[in-house]
Chains A and B, each alone.
Chain A
């Protein structure tokens, strides 16, 4: 039975220091509200996994929550690099474990299927010099097949457009690796733009990404992906992505920003109130977010 709870309670109940967490998404539906809540709770020594760590992981690294990052592309989408990540790697402040996208999503497939590894088609490169890739002998042809190890996050956290009270999760738009990351998790928790009565979204089955029985807890978080975007609801806040590129180059500026926009607000509702309704009207897509705004 999926528990419905406030985001703050969800984070304190499910995210433990030193655990391996995956906040999923490829530019789309990035769980910013949940990531910021992790910062507010002061949880430390996390292993952060995602194929595409972006602004959110850069902020979490800057806030000191991460000991390690497992990834395949660490960039600020369309803008450049990730300054806090760069600084942490270049000064040895963080451990990295790096793959290609194809390897990273294959690791999730193995994790989701409960298998110890997944075969891949891949050539060697200098990543496999750094971290030699294992292989298995195909029992049918006798050929060597490269493999990657399963990735099973302790907790995967995803953000979706809609959940129902039974915890069924619905999303649309770019799926990225959200479903595979969700199913690879030992524990899956979610935030949702809106939570509708149980069974009321039943006919929307083509958007169901994970059935509620797989979901431990869900929290309501309107604009919970801001400044990334939620298809059909609101656009990406590209200005913030560009500003971060400037802010994050300087540690003091970085901390000032985190103090103002993350640590200095009590919770996600506080963040929304601090930005103000007008701010989000600019990003909202027509006909998109009326219902989520009401609650």
Chain B
């Protein structure tokens, strides 16, 4: 039986299209992007903020600076070039990120829980996320869904989402959010809403796990199609290449 986490990874992978250039963040986005490349998007160009362009990893990379990403990559660029000459110039189609918190406008927090000056939990910080979230042509966020992670207002805006009251006019910013409960989009006011619920989950559950009254954006509630055997097999195969680590 596929778990909610499997569903989240597969639903996220399905959003990536063949031929797109995707800047891949650490954690679940990394698994989902590698999965998409082994399924419907063999021409997906995997880009990592470490400077790797068009990685073709044999194994699931544990981190985004791994040697396995460098072998058979088209290029490894200095970080400065990747950010200045490619990302902020608009050459990345999809920013593919995780975060500790997200709010209704798609603001992402990966810096602190609690106040910045005296944090309850000090997280890793932006890394490339702030620029990825704002300069990729669109952004997909993947994260586990619970009330602490979906507050009305994030504790700290690491990566700005949509501005108050409006969606970004040029398509940039948060486009889809994939969680362990469902698939989410943003309305014309730049506010997050439900697009579909993953199997086994209800709208009430989403409301319960979200810190604001999140609306439904469609009538077509139920996510489809079901997980295909080849998706399940590819995910299992991918995980088997990661011999250690708790990322699976």
- CB B71 to nearest CB in A, in angstroms, measures 9
A101 at the interface (CB under 8 A from B): yes
Which residue of B70, B123, B127 has the most chain A CB atoms within 10 A of its CB atom? Answer: B127
Distance A229 CA – B69 CA, assembled complex (angstroms)? 13
A27 near B80: Cβ-Cβ < 8 Å = no
Residues of B within 8 A of A72 (CB): 125-127
Partner of A127, one of B62, B120, B124, B130: B130
Residues B135-189 near A (CB distance < 8 A):
135, 156-160
B131 near A176: Cβ-Cβ < 8 Å = no
Distance A269 CA – B213 CA, assembled complex (angstroms)? 61
Inter-chain residue pair count (beta carbon < 8 A):
163
Distance A105 CA – B125 CA, assembled complex (angstroms)? 15
Q: Which chain A residue lies CB-closest to B73?
A: A174
Q: Which chain A residue lies CB-closest to B87?
A: A102
Residues of A within 8 A of B157 (CB): 125-126
Distance A30 CA – B124 CA, assembled complex (angstroms)? 18
- CB A163 to nearest CB in B, in angstroms, measures 20
Partner of A102, one of B61, B120, B125, B128: B128
- CB B148 to nearest CB in A, in angstroms, measures 16
Residues of A within 8 A of B245 (CB): 78-79, 238, 242
A22 at the interface (CB under 8 A from B): no
A51 near B79: Cβ-Cβ < 8 Å = yes
How many residues on chain A are close to B (CB under 8 Å)?
A: 51
Q: Which chain B residue lies CB-closest to A98?
A: B125
A180 near B127: Cβ-Cβ < 8 Å = no
A102 near B78: Cβ-Cβ < 8 Å = no
- CB B247 to nearest CB in A, in angstroms, measures 7
- CB B207 to nearest CB in A, in angstroms, measures 27
B83 near A101: Cβ-Cβ < 8 Å = yes
Task: Decide yes or no: A27 and B127 within 8 Å by CB, A121-B135, A126-B111, A174-B70 being known contacts.
Answer: no
Distance A242 CA – B246 CA, assembled complex (angstroms)? 10
A235 near B128: Cβ-Cβ < 8 Å = no
B121 at the interface (CB under 8 A from A): yes
Residues of B within 8 A of A231 (CB): 67, 70
Partner of A89, one of B79, B88, B119, B126: B119
Residues of A within 8 A of B83 (CB): 101-102, 105
Q: Is the interface of B mostly helix, strand, loop or mixed?
A: loop
Residues of B within 8 A of A26 (CB): 50-51, 65, 79
Residues A201-245 near B (CB distance < 8 A):
229, 231, 235-236, 238-239, 242
Distance A51 CA – B80 CA, assembled complex (angstroms)? 11
How many residues on chain B are close to A (CB under 8 Å)?
A: 50
A66-108 vs B: 1/0 string, CB under 8 Å? 0000011111011101100110011010000011111001101
Distance A51 CA – B126 CA, assembled complex (angstroms)? 10
Residues of A within 8 A of B111 (CB): 98, 126-127
Residues A143-199 near B (CB distance < 8 A):
173-177, 179-180
A92 near B122: Cβ-Cβ < 8 Å = no
A59 at the interface (CB under 8 A from B): no
Q: Which chain B residue lies CB-closest to A92?
A: B118
Distance A100 CA – B79 CA, assembled complex (angstroms)? 12
B131 near A101: Cβ-Cβ < 8 Å = yes
B84 near A106: Cβ-Cβ < 8 Å = yes
Distance A142 CA – B122 CA, assembled complex (angstroms)? 39
- CB A261 to nearest CB in B, in angstroms, measures 20
A124 at the interface (CB under 8 A from B): yes
Distance A242 CA – B245 CA, assembled complex (angstroms)? 8
Task: Decide yes or no: A180 and B131 within 8 Å by CB, A101-B49, A125-B158, A174-B50 being known contacts.
Answer: no
- CB B64 to nearest CB in A, in angstroms, measures 7
Residues of B within 8 A of A90 (CB): 118-122
- CB B84 to nearest CB in A, in angstroms, measures 7
B22-54 vs A: 1/0 string, CB under 8 Å? 000010000000000000000000000111100
Which residue of A72, A126, A175 has the most chain B CB atoms within 10 A of its CB atom? Answer: A126
B77 near A175: Cβ-Cβ < 8 Å = yes
B244 at the interface (CB under 8 A from A): yes
Q: Which chain A residue lies CB-closest to B116?
A: A130
Chain B interface residues toward A at CB < 8 A: 26, 49-52, 61-67, 69-70, 76-80, 83-84, 87-88, 111, 116, 118-131, 134-135, 156-160, 244-247
